[in-house]
Amino acid sequence: MEDATMLQTVKSVLDRAMSEIKLRDDMRLLLATPEREILVTVPVVMDDGSVKTFPGYRVQHSSALGPYKGGIRYSPGVDLEEVRALAALMTLKCAVAGLPYGGAKGGICCEPRKMSDRELESMTKQYARMLETVIGPQIDIPAPDVNTNDRVMSWIMNERLHTGALWARASVTGKPVVLGGSLGRREATGRGLYTLAIELLRKTGREIKDTTVAVQGFGNVGAWAAYFLHAAGARVVAVSNSKGGWFRDDGLDIPPLVVGVARTSAPLDDLDSVGARRISNEELIALPVDILIPAAMEGQITSRNAGGVKARMVLEGANGPTTYQADHILEGRGVTVVPDILASAGGVVVSYFEWVQNMMGLQWQFDEVIEKLDSTMIRSLNQVWDLAGRKACSLRLAAYMLAIEKVADATSRRLALPV
Ligand code: GLU
């Protein structure tokens, strides 16, 4: 049987969690359906003078807990179904982290690596213009996601400044620090993964220096997770990108690789000289490590390879890296899976701090941001951990239950339903 898509996976877990907390049927339908979906066709004059049109999306899943929040991705795989799943995950992620936000996601179906900077800028500004009235600091606040970054966010901010939108700076997060971005935002998701890893090791009585790690996906999330874990004494034995990866039993020297990430999108050129050997992404997933961090794209751990996962803990740095079937297999084998809506929340947590700073005209120090991020991550983990213990269920189901309880509570109070 085929593995479930990301949307089917999210819906199936939502269903299980809603049954578990005995949510009323009418509320179930309400929470499973996006509030608003925007489809746009983005025209771009390409460098050769031709006009290309790109399908763009913004799905605003829930505003029960606050303004919609979530990233924008540029990738050939973007379609309405993918964006729907990611928007629902954002609602759950913000709720688990205790942020005053709902959830949304946007995307444009394009091949950013084949586009020039000017074409990307033009596409981004056109997309921002088309979403002008449905974005804003109290409406919907975009941020970076796959193949978008602080530069793309500054183009969106600039477009909003030009059109005279109020609070243009606070209407997008993940901006460059010089334009009102927060210190610590760049490394936030990776830092959050690290903080959870340390806390989970503490809970299970293990030491970071005796821990081995494999990271699939060496973009902004995976690279920073590897960086912090390596700095704390873990042995990061494997890293990979879409083209494959490198393995070194004694551990890889991570800091020089992270410098590469900041400069280019293909940093893992050649590690032969440092005694590393090439491995495929499939081999990486099956490595006998303590912690496996899938930080690339969705649907990486499937029913085909889940049986071969030897890690004791899977920390989901990507959104939706494990299919529904694979999740079941991992659970049956006693692997601790820290779900995406908890594990990868660091980015949106610091996005929230950025928005707060913008609204208040403040610039917090790096250490202050990191301290607040760490305590938010640990508090969220503890809540999920305790609930999973009480219900004797997986961390994923517990995280979903916790989030749904909050969203359902807010929704029913706003609709004046009996609580
Ligand atoms: N794209 C990131 C995520 O999936 C960050 C979202 C945000 O900061 O709003 O969590």
Q: Return d(Cα 59, Cα 82) in angstroms, integer.
A: 10
The highest-level CATH class for domain 34-163 is: alpha beta
Burial 360-379 (b: 16+ CB within 10 A, else e): eeeebeeeebbebbbebbbe
Atom of ligand 1 nearest to the CA of 73: 1
Tokens for 361?
Answer: 């005209």
Q: Among 61, 68, 145, 147, which is best to mutate for testing ligand 1, by the most ligand atoms less than 8 A from CB?
A: 145
Q: Return d(Cα 390, Cα 20) in angstroms, integer.
A: 13
pLDDT higher than 70, residue 263: no
Q: Return d(Cα 339, Cα 116) in angstroms, integer.
A: 36
HSE of 25, CA atoms in CB hemisphere, 13 A: 0
Q: In terms of Cα–Cα distance, which of 125, 120, 134, 111 is closest to 59?
A: 134
- Tens-digit pLDDT profile for residues 98-117: 999 999 999 999 999 999 99
Distance 71 CA to ligand 1 centre (A): 5
Residue 166 pLDDT class (50, 70, 90 cuts): confident
Structure-token match 């690279």, residue found: 223
- Averaged confidence pLDDT in the chain: 95
pLDDT higher than 90, residue 323: yes
Distance 271 CA to ligand 1 centre (A): 31
Are 384 and 397 a contacting pair, CB within 8 Å? no
Residue 83 pLDDT class (50, 70, 90 cuts): very high
**Domain chopping of the chain, boundaries:** 34-163, 188-343
* CATH tag, 188-343: 3.40.50.720
Are 335 and 311 a contacting pair, CB within 8 Å? yes
pLDDT higher than 70, residue 262: no
Cα dist. 259→148, 267, 378 in Å? 18, 9, 28
Show which residues are catalytic: 105
Tokens for 347?
Answer: 């980015």
Distance 73 CA to ligand 1 centre (A): 10
Mean pLDDT of the 388-408 span: 98
Q: Do domains 34-163 and 188-343 have the same CATH topology?
A: yes
Q: For a pLDDT cut of 90, what percent of the chain falls above it?
A: 91
Residues in contact with ligand 1 (CB, 6 Å cut-off): 69-71, 93, 143, 145, 173-174, 319, 344, 347-348, 351
pLDDT higher than 70, residue 419: no
Task: Write the secondary structure of 118-181 as one string of H (helix), E (strand) and C (coil).
Answer: HHHHHHHHHHHHHCHHHCECCCEEEEECCCCCHHHHHHHHHHHHHCCCCCCHHHCCCCCHHHCC
Looking at residue 416, its pLDDT comes to: 72
Q: Which residues contact 409 (CB under 8 A, 6 or more apart)?
A: 419
pLDDT higher than 80, residue 130: yes
Looking at residue 418, its pLDDT comes to: 62
Residue 415 pLDDT class (50, 70, 90 cuts): confident
- Tens-digit pLDDT profile for residues 174-211: 999 999 999 999 999 999 999 999 999 999 999 999 99
Residue 88 pLDDT class (50, 70, 90 cuts): very high
